[in-house]
Structure 1
Amino acid sequence: MIVRILGEGQYDVPEGSVEALNALDAPVEAAIEASDEAAFRPALEALLAGVREHGTAHDAESLDESDLILPPGDATLDEVRELLGDDGLIPG
């Protein structure tokens, strides 16, 4: 699966990592639902770090479409709220 972090690039993330990324997505979703700015920033950073850890940089010259698009690390709580689907940022 190809995951794009806006402003950073794409990562090839194995399908087997979706469960681990969902575990990192849950605190982001909870912080947004609670409008908890203090919990939001570290939760978002942990999710993005998880994508970097589980994935490998996708070829920058490739024009492949992303399967998931995540906000940049400096996104606001309201910006991320607009991106949230029913399953959070990481479906599954």
Structure 2
Amino acid sequence: MYSEICFFVKIVQAGKIATAASTLGIAQSTISRKISSLEKKLNHALIRRGYGEISLTDYGMKLYNSFKGIEAEIEKQMEKSRLCNPGL
């Protein structure tokens, strides 16, 4: 589920599924399936898909705001770990 959350955050940041897929180096169909899977697990639509553009549902916006905070915290902790263990 973590990868699905990361894909969701990247899509929102990119504004388009195709742009996020290109940035991540994966097929657009793969990232679309991951988001559909996340939506099924959460039992909520997160993204409204349109002609290349996306918009968030209300639930998607709430989740994005939560997830981006979690992602930032994970990055912060990973950087701390690298500073404490420079040989890794």
TM-score, normalised to structure 2, is 0.34
Q: Which has the higher contact order (CA 8 A, sep 6+)?
A: 1
TM-score, normalised to structure 1, is 0.33
Indicate the structure (1 or 2) with the bigger Cα radius of gyration.
Answer: 2
